[in-house]
Structure 1
Amino acid sequence: MNPHQFSESEIAGVYRAINQRRDMRHFLPTPIPPEQLMRFIKAAHHAPSVGYMQPWRFVRITDPALRRDLHSHVNDERLLTAQALGERSDSFMQLKVEGMLACAELLAVGLTDGREKHVFGRRTMPEMDLASASCAIQNFWLAARAEGIGVGWVSMFDPEVVREKLKMPFGSRPIALLCVGEVEQFYPAPMLELEKWDSRRPLSEVLFENNWGESAPADTPETAKEIKP
């Protein structure tokens, strides 16, 4: 037995949070205790980051007028997205793509300014700041799911418009609006899968060996279905 591994129940809990995490769009207005929200933010702040740059910043939206303003902008972008989708626009418009007005908490996640100073791990891949902040959001998401709280990632916005609305400094960049709150139930599968928008790829389509496109050995377990701990 690996002396560093968690107990069987703890391992099961980690995999359960991963498998049952959902991008939520339907929320209850029940308030979230401040200490609970802070636990999720602390979990995010413990994410790995390239060069230990910790590029993430969180803005809690508590002004109702600002929340409505952001929602209006997202809705404008929703219409533009529908136009860009062409023949799939009607199907897209039938989807619920955000829960910004119903959720208990709305957070903006952004990349800090001055990121060009961080060269460690980013000389050839400057986008690793975004990768690091995405890890922070995933930590937040999994911690929330473990405590029965839903999270929805809204990305349909113009970063420059949102940056100005939130008075973020020049050089910073918003990457997500997170809807956070209690839900009546978690979707049994990803919503876009339930709505037949797309489906999860089998592992054989995303796992290669040595060369891109070279299939993994035949004895590699096929896990198109969710892995159960």
Structure 2
Amino acid sequence: MTAALSALVVDDEQPVLDELVWLLERDDRIGTVRAARSGAEALRVLDESDIDLVFLDVAMPGLSGLEIARVLSRFRSPPRVVFVTAHDEYAVEAFEMNAVDYLLKPIREERLRESVRRACVDSESAAPATEDSIAVELGGVTRFVSRRTVSYVEAQGDYVRLHTADGPSHLVRVPIGTLADEWADAGFVRIHRSHLVSLSHVREVRVNSGRCSVLLPVGDDLVELVVARRHTRTLRELLHERAL
């Protein structure tokens, strides 16, 4: 049986802090629960105690949850992190930091228990995350989609739809321009104002009457996307470099 996890809850709002501590103490997978009302206090607790799982409020005075998580990532054995917030605009950045989960306030007990389950699974695997993930929300449940599985990204207003090589698509609230900047180093390139493609998933480049297009896998099919003229040269150069 897996040993109970030690947890630390960090939130500057006392009612939220008290509720999270109370809910976690009701979970038999959690052993000790510590609490902190600021980033500085949280770091003191982490320095003094062995903590397995940290529930971090994203927006706090002083050190934010994201800043604390960056400090934790430099620990030799960093605790697993669950972000807690009233807003979802930090989800992309949070999961690029390999967070276990991303909880939206108000917290539901069953949703919190799912976060603990994920932390337990992560603990049992003992293998560090080797690739970035992005959080997608479906039916009140946050799931992780590996960036490696994404063939292309389609802009839909302030959202993007992630089309994966194994078939499913996922809607995420982030502008395509933001994702293009954040995923450039992972081999994603803009081919059109509405499309961002993964170079590793490009199966074929076609040129017909001066028009360039690329074929990418989505499930059992190949999807053809037109490349805007101003992006054609950059795309072909990047594909050539990747083939060398």
TM-score by length of 1: 0.25
Query: Which structure shows the bigger proportion of residues in helix conformation?
Result: 1
TM-score by length of 2: 0.24
Query: Which structure shows the bigger proportion of residues in strand conformation?
Result: 2
Q: Which has the bigger relative contact order, CA under 8 A and spacing at least 6?
A: 1
